[in-house]
Every structure is written in C-alpha cells, then in structure tokens.
Amino acid sequence: MIYRRLKYWLATWLMPVLLFWSIAMTAQSPANYTLQVLAPSESADFVDKLDYKKELPDSLAVFAEVRNLVNILRAASYLEASADSLLFRDSLAYVFLHVGPQYEWAKLSDGNVGELWLNQVGFRQKNYRNKLFSIPETTQLLDDLLIFAENHGYPFAKVRLDSVTASDGVITARLFLEQKAYIQFDKIQLKGDANISEQYLTFYLGLKQGAPYDKEKILQIKNRLQELPFIRLKKDPVVSFLNGFATVHLELEKKNASRFDFLIGVLPNKRQKGKVLINGNLEAAFHNQFGKAEQIYLQFEQLRPQTQQVEVAFNYPYLFKLPFGADFNFQLYRRDTNFIDIKYEAGAQYYFGGSNYLKAFGGRHISNLLSVDTLKISTTGQLPDTLDISRTNFGIEYTFEKLDYRFNPRSGFASRLRASAGLRDLRRNNLIENAGLGGLYDDLDNRAFQYRIEAQAAYYLPIGQTGTIKAGVTAALLLSDEKLLANEQYRIGGNRLLRGFDEESVFATNYLVSTLEYRLLLNQNGYIYVFGDLARVDEETVQNVEETISLPYGFGAGLTFETKAGIFGISLAYGSRKGNPIDFGEPKVHFGFVSLF
C-alpha cells in the first residue's frame, strides 16, 4: 500500500517539478560553451595537440565533440580512452579524459582460417607484430575475410577475434572463421513474358549451376540486367536457400530493343561555295529475335556522292552451353570511281562474364581499282598510290568494361585492344598491264608482312548529381615492311571519331585521337554535352613521305533526348586541320533518330 502511494506521489508531484526545473535550467544555460579538456599529466602534452572544436553552440554539441575526442584517441591506438566526467560551469564545459597506454600488437595469429584464405586477403603476421593497434585496419581485415567467404560459397560465415588478451599496452589475438553451410548455385528460376534463354542468363550473370555462391554476383544482377536492351527486371531479385543450394528468382518482362535509326549530316560543299552536302547513315539492329541474345546488324552509309559503305554483322553468344560465342562481319566500301573494298571476318569469342570477352579471329581484305588513269601513269612513269591488293590476317581482340550503365554511363571505364598480323599480296591490274605499263610493277615487292594494333579506352568520372566527364583515347597503328598504299590506310573523321570533319575524310597510317567531353544527364538515355577532340595523324604512304604528320582538332556540342517515339539527337561541330582557320559559318551538323521495336 505504501509502495503504491509512493509511486503516485512521484508521478503526480515530483516528476513534473523535476521536468520544470530541467527546462528552466536549460533556458538559463548559456548559448555557447567553451570546451576545456583535462587529462593526467603524463598525457597532457598529447591531448593539447588534439584537433577538436573548442567553441560549441550548446550542450548537445559538447557531448558530440567529447565522443569525437574519445574516438580520435581510440583510433590512435589509445584503446582505454574514455570521458570520466563532464562538468558545466557557466559558459565553460570541462571534460576529464582517461587516456591510458597506446596499444600495439604483440601477435595476431591464425586460429582456424587457413593460409590459403589469409593470403587471398593479404594477411601477413609480420604486419601485426610490434605495430600499433589500429581499429580501422583490424575491422577491414575482418570485413575482407567475411567478403571473401561470402563470395566463395559461404554466405552465412562469421569472422571474429578470439583468445584476446590485452595488458600493459600489448594485445594478442587469434583469427577464427565459422564457415557454416557451403552453398552452390542452383538453376535460375525465370518468370514473366521475356523470351530469353536460361542458358544465356546463367552465363551472362555468372550464376552457373554448381558454382560456389558468390554474393558479389548477386549484388550485380540488377545492373547487369539493366545493360541488356531486350529485357527489363520487374522486381528485385530474390534468393532462396534450400539443402545447400541457392536459387535466384528473376521476374523479367520483354523490352523493345531492336532498332532502326538514321543519321543525317549537313556539311558545307567545299567544291561549290554556298552549297551543302547531305550524307546519311541507316542502321538496323535486331536483338534477341530467337531468345538466345543473338544480334544481327545491318548498315548502309552514304558518305558523299558516289561513296557508299555497307556492313552486315552477326553475333551468337554462349554456344553449346559453353562460354563461347561466334561472330561474322562483312563490309563493302566504294570510294567514288577510284576503288572498292571488300572485307569479311569470322571470330570465336570466349566470355569472361557479361560483355567482357577474348576473341580470336581471321579475315580477308580485297581492294580492287575501279578506274585507272593510264595516261597519267604513262606521263609520270609512276603507279598510283591505290593498287589492287588482297590481305589475309589473323589476330586477337580483348574487350573489358565496367560501367554503371552501358548506353549512357556516368561512371566506370571501357576498353578494347585488338592486334592482328597478316600477309598483303599486290596484284597486277589488267588495265595497267594492257596499256603496256606492267613493267612498273617490277620494282615493287608483291608480298609484305603487315601488323595492325588498335586500342580504345574511355573513363567516366561523375561530377555533381547528374554530370559526368568522359576522357577517352582511340589509337591505331599500321606497320609494314613495305610502303603503304592509300587504300590500305585507316579512314577517320566524322560523327563517330574526330568530330568536326567530313565523314571518313582523313586517311591515316597511324593515329591517336583524345577526347574530353562533359555530359549533363537528363534521364537514363538523354544528355546535353560539349566536347573537344584532338588528334595526331600520320598520313605517310608510298607517294606521301614529307610533312605527313598533322594535329587536327574539333569541338562542339550536342543534345540527345528520349521520347515515346524514340531517341533524337542533334550535334554541331567545328574542326581545323593543317593550320586552316575555323570557318564558323560552315559547321558540321548531324541529326539522328533511333526507333526501338
């Protein structure tokens, strides 16, 4: 009975009085405090050197700064550091710190983890002997071990320090790992209306049945599926565990990915002042028509009057339930009435996961003259710099990318390296032979070894909330033990590479193009951009051997935006080469449209 009355009296009278007194004292407390730190004499000099806020607006800020001080000390290996008491006097706040000794490792040894796993996370016992104890470093070691376990079949593993002893500033401990159950991937379970091969997704996502569970691959699923243009993830992936197996459940829906697009270029006509040239590019790409993630690509490009290019390509990934794919490429290029090129190439790809692969390929290039000025050859006594040739080559290609979103990245990098070697055969032209000029071939070697190296790299650096900077480089090198012909050179310039110039108007034996571009992202596929391209071009051929190096550059801006009908793009660019002034009245303008179906 007395106990109940006491509770009633405390709740009814004492607690309201104490609450009122607390509020009154807070209202009367000063608006600002000066924090003074007091420590034992043996630690006073060290504490005086600590960097902390001395002027604080209120008592809550004082408490927060005291906690910060303790954390600073513990991070500096003073593991016993604590705030023994805190006293407020008018505008002063006194904190009495206990610092204690600075701890160091005597020994951190392996309990049951094993040398193999410890080596994988970079653990070395010598780094934990007579070295200062570091909480962040020790925590990182435990995290690394746990992540390694989760990515190698043990998603329920636990890591801890055991047998810990600490005295007189010295610590000894042992590392222990509880692996728990070993888990393997089971078959992927698919739902939804997406027509996609389970086999393809298994290899693409790296979730092969029977492989050890890998948490990192699970976390990458959303981003990896987002990069596929023909499916969409409706819900977050779900992982279920049963009898030592992990099943990944994916609900997917079909997304329009096959596309038809065109690009129209409006360029000044250098031959007719005040006139313009219209060039165009038509492309059609068919994705996943048979549910195997295959790709069929068709292109027709009108570069200038009487100059056309046709390309057909086909790619089929993950053949025969193996991480191998096959591709084929055919190109036809007609240069005015000068020559025609035919190229075809077949390759076999080994996929490392996603879009990263190593490819071995073989191909053939045939170039035939369409017309010959025999009168000029007879007058000069010299063959033209374009001749009939055929080349057979073999090579390898490596592609690696790690982007947050492949089609409009904001962060990450992408790279491609391609190298090939082959034999070039020089064929005698019938028109030249029939004109009695075949003897001019006698001074030329009919066969030459050639080597081609091509590289691309791009890095995307996020800026602010929606911006990114793209820094890229594209380079190619053609080596031969004989002088090169003009119809063997690379052709660059235009909307794809070295903007501000006519399409494929720059012939190069080797080149390097660097790009700096700022993008302001509007949405997933839209952005505004400004850019600058700077190149080093070497045009040396059999007839062009003097002053062959130039430094062309281009700059401009553009806009790409997405609508229900498709993706529209417009760009404007200017360029200068070989010291020619920039003509701001004659920009290179390109309009583009991509329609998905």
C-alpha count within 13 angstroms, C-beta hemisphere, residue 421: 2
Same domain, 418 and 541: yes
Write the CATH number for 168: 3.10.20.310
Which position has the higher pLDDT, 101 or 518? Answer: 518
Same domain, 421 and 464: yes
Same domain, 562 and 502: yes
State the total domains in the chain.
4
Residue 321: the pLDDT is 77
Q: Does pLDDT of 47 surpass 90?
A: no
Residues 6+ apart with CB under 8 A from 524: 405, 408, 562
Question: What number is the average pLDDT over the span 542-548?
Answer: 84
**The two structure tokens encoding residue 251:** 């609900």
User: How big is the CA angle at 509 (ends 504 and 510), to the nearest 5 degrees?
Assistant: 95
Residue 135: the pLDDT is 84
Residue 266: the pLDDT is 64
pLDDT bracket for residue 16 (50, 70, 90): very low
Residue 267: the pLDDT is 58
Which position has the higher pLDDT, 50 or 418? Answer: 418
Residue 589: the pLDDT is 86
Which position has the higher pLDDT, 104 or 44? Answer: 104
Same domain, 349 and 219: no
Alpha-carbon distance of 585 to 570, in angstroms, equals: 18
Same domain, 110 and 83: no
Same domain, 287 and 246: no
Residue 158: the pLDDT is 93
Residue 507: the pLDDT is 92
- Is 569 a domain residue? yes
Question: What number is the average pLDDT over the span 569-574?
Answer: 92
Alpha-carbon distance of 79 to 102, in angstroms, equals: 7
Domain stops at, among 40, 67, 98: 98
Using one digit for the tens of pLDDT, what is the confidence trace for 483-500?
899 999 999 998 889 999
- Is 321 a domain residue? yes
pLDDT bracket for residue 425 (50, 70, 90): very high
Using one digit for the tens of pLDDT, what is the confidence trace for 52-101?
888 888 888 889 988 988 888 888 888 888 888 888 888 888 888 888 88
Same domain, 327 and 472: yes
Residue 274: the pLDDT is 57
Using one digit for the tens of pLDDT, what is the confidence trace for 282-315?
888 888 888 888 899 998 888 677 788 899 999 9
Residue with tokens 């063997």: 488
Alpha-carbon distance of 185 to 221, in angstroms, equals: 14
Same domain, 231 and 247: yes
Alpha-carbon distance of 106 to 120, in angstroms, equals: 23
Q: Kindly tell me the burial class for residue 203, based on how many C-beta atoms sit within 10 Å of its own C-beta (0-12, 13-18, 19 or more).
A: buried
Domain stops at, among 254, 271, 304: 254
- Is 3 a domain residue? no
**Domain of 110, in residue numbers:** 104-178
Same domain, 110 and 154: yes
Q: Does pLDDT of 536 surpass 90?
A: yes
Residue 514: the pLDDT is 97
Q: Kindly tell me the burial class for residue 73, based on how many C-beta atoms sit within 10 Å of its own C-beta (0-12, 13-18, 19 or more).
A: buried
- Is 537 a domain residue? yes
Same domain, 466 and 557: yes
- Is 4 a domain residue? no
- Is 14 a domain residue? no
Listed ranges 438-442, 469-473, 523-527; the one with the highest mean pLDDT: 469-473
User: How big is the CA angle at 315 (ends 309 and 318), to the nearest 5 degrees?
Assistant: 170
Segment among 15-29, 320-334, 419-433 with least mean pLDDT: 15-29
Q: Is residue 359 a contact partner of residue 348, using CB atoms and an 8 Å limit? A: yes
Domain stops at, among 47, 81, 98: 98
Which position has the higher pLDDT, 265 or 450? Answer: 450
Write the CATH number for 430: 2.40.160.50
Q: Does pLDDT of 196 surpass 80?
A: yes
pTM of the model: 0.69
Q: Does pLDDT of 159 surpass 80?
A: yes
Question: For 463-472, b where at least 16 C-beta lie within 10 A, e where not — what string?
Answer: eeeeebebeb
- Is 15 a domain residue? no
Q: Does pLDDT of 565 surpass 80?
A: no
Average pLDDT of the residues of the chain? 86
DSSP 3-state of 205 = helix
Alpha-carbon distance of 311 to 329, in angstroms, equals: 7
Q: Does pLDDT of 7 surpass 70?
A: no
Q: Does pLDDT of 241 surpass 70?
A: yes
Segment among 36-50, 97-111, 129-143, 553-567 with least mean pLDDT: 36-50
Same domain, 287 and 375: yes
First to last CA, the chain: 83
Using one digit for the tens of pLDDT, what is the confidence trace for 203-232?
888 898 999 999 999 998 988 888 787 888
pLDDT bracket for residue 29 (50, 70, 90): very low
Q: Does pLDDT of 8 surpass 60?
A: no
Q: Does pLDDT of 454 surpass 90?
A: yes
Alpha-carbon distance of 581 to 548, in angstroms, equals: 19
Segment among 38-42, 105-109, 171-175, 330-334 with least mean pLDDT: 38-42
DSSP letters, 424-448, are: EEE---HHHHHTT-GGGGGGS-SEE
pLDDT above 90 as % of the chain: 41
pLDDT bracket for residue 472 (50, 70, 90): very high
Alpha-carbon distance of 115 to 111, in angstroms, equals: 10
Residue 271: the pLDDT is 60
Same domain, 117 and 130: yes
DSSP letters, 165-189, are: EEETTEEEEEEEEE-----EE---E
Task: Describe the crossing of helices 135-150 and 215-226 by its angle, rounded to 10 degrees.
Answer: 70
- Is 16 a domain residue? no
